[in-house]
């Protein structure tokens, strides 16, 4: 039996190289071997105040980026979360088995809430909605970057609690799948913080998937490094900038540590390193931008694909949420 895979991405902010190397590239790579659900999680984006027009534009734009990046709707189910009502319903049902303390412990909640003037209830509840996403499809695997690992572990705890309260084996217990390389791409302007959508508007922070080749080269040229000239992988905090560039190169080329270091054995300093890294990045992501522009010219086709994806997702998610209701004691409509 094929493994079921579920993963999601928020439509707000600029999709960047970290999202690509930490998640999307791996979604594309294994889509033929497994049963895949890839979800544009617009309900999650609402947990931080959004401009409605921006959210609306970015949701469809992200769908086009994912298709341009190689997500094939004939091999997987690509859909918008709010198109499948079972997600919001599952979140409510799971809220009623999730202790508050589990949510208050989440590091992403703590990080994000200090940045908000007023913290919305949805932000605290974010991981429960995410648990619903995953559990509705009985996903075995959840391919994500390092920052989402804690949320997938919480999903396992929620599933186990539901199973022990109501019915052993009801939910499949999912596994986070974190890539060996690229799971935590750091900011180019500050290699001590992870590359993030919410900072991607800041000049030089990120390579955005829709940047043109010159912008990509400029951002990588400006990347913060150190005052040395040795090009090798390193865990030392002061060498984090060079390490990050090597990680990007390794994740894109698929080479081993030794092969990557050999590629740079004759490099003349960090200038050479940046030029070579920029070239592999441009080569791998420039085609995405070209295909994206093509797809935006066919909005009706994009909508058709998304409607088909939602339809496919509903055939799994709706009966599952109905079963949840039933075993929790709710009366289903006759
Ligand atoms: P989001 O939209 O923040 O990010 C999408 C994916 O990109 C990964 N990622 C990174 N990987 C490497 N380096 C980085 N700097 C970096 N930044 C982000 C994230 O780990 C993620 O895999 N909560 C999720 C969306 C979600 C979801 C789900 C994921 C909702 N429901 C169910 C899996 C399953 C999020 O906000 O991702």
Q: How far is the CA of 117 from the centre of ligand 1 (A)?
A: 24
By most ligand atoms within 8 Å of CB, the mutation choice from 9, 48, 141, 245 for ligand 1 is 9
By most ligand atoms within 8 Å of CB, the mutation choice from 5, 20, 23 for ligand 1 is 23
pLDDT digits (tens, 9 = 90+) for 122-135: 999 999 999 999 99
Q: Is-above-0.95 flag for pTM?
A: yes
Domains and CATH numbers, the chain: 4-179+298-327 (3.40.50.620), 197-294 (1.10.240.10)
Is the confidence at residue 211, as pLDDT, over 90? yes
Where in the sequence numbering do the catalytic residues fall? 112, 194, 197
Is the confidence at residue 226, as pLDDT, over 90? yes
Q: Quickly list H helices, the chain.
A: 17-19, 25-29, 42-45, 52-68, 86-95, 100-104, 107-114, 121-136, 149-165, 213-221, 240-253, 257-263, 269-296, 299-328
Cα–Cα distance measured from residue 181 to residue 95, given in angstroms and rounded to the nearest whole number: 34
Atom 19, ligand 1: residue with shortest CA distance: 145
Atom 18, ligand 1: residue with shortest CA distance: 19
| Residues at CB less than 6 angstroms from ligand 1 | 6-10, 18-19, 22-23, 41, 44, 130, 133-134, 142, 144-145, 147-148, 151, 183-185, 194-195
Q: What b/e sequence results for 37-75 when a residue is b if at least 16 CB atoms lie within 10 Å of its CB, and e otherwise?
A: bbbbbbbbbbbbeeeeeeeeebbbbbbbbbbbbbbebeb
Is the confidence at residue 116, as pLDDT, over 90? no
pLDDT digits (tens, 9 = 90+) for 26-81: 999 999 899 999 999 999 999 999 999 999 999 999 999 999 999 999 999 999 99
């Amino acid at each position: 039996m094929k493994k079921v895979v579920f993963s999601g991405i928020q439509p707000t902010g600029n999709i960047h190289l970290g999202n690509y190397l930490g998640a999307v590239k791996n979604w594309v790579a294994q889509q033929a071997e497994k049963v895949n659900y890839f979800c544009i999680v617009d309900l999650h984006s609402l947990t931080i105040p959004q401009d409605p027009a921006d959210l609306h534009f970015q949701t469809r734009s992200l769908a086009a980026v994912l298709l341009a990046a190689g997500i094939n709707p004939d091999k997987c189910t690509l859909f918008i979360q709010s198109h499948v009502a079972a997600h919001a319903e599952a979140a409510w049902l799971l809220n009623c088995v999730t202790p508050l303390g589990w949510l208050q412990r989440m590091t992403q909640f703590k990080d994000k809430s200090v940045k908000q003037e007023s913290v919305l209830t949805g932000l605290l509840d974010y991981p429960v909605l995410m648990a619903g996403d995953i559990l509705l499809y009985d996903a075995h695997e959840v391919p994500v970057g390092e920052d989402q690992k804690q949320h997938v572990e919480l999903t396992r705890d929620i599933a186990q609690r539901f199973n022990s309260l109501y019915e052993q084996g009801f939910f499949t217990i999912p596994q986070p799948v974190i890539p060996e390389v690229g799971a935590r791409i750091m900011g180019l302007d500050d290699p001590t913080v992870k590359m993030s959508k919410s900072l991607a508007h800041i000049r030089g922070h990120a390579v955005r998937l829709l940047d043109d080749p010159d912008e990509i080269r400029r951002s990588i040229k400006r990347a913060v490094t150190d005052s040395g000239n040795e090009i090798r992988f390193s865990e030392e905090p002061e060498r984090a900038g060079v390490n990050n560039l090597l990680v990007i190169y390794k994740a894109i080329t698929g080479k081993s540590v030794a092969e990557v270091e050999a590629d740079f054995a004759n490099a003349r300093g960090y200038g050479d390193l940046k030029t070579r890294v920029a070239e592999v990045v441009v080569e791998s992501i420039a085609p995405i931008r070209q295909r994206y522009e093509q797809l935006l010219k066919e909005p009706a086709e994009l909508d058709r694909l998304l409607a088909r994806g939602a339809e496919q997702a509903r055939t799994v998610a709706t009966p599952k949420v109905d079963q949840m209701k039933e075993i929790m004691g709710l009366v289903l409509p006759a």
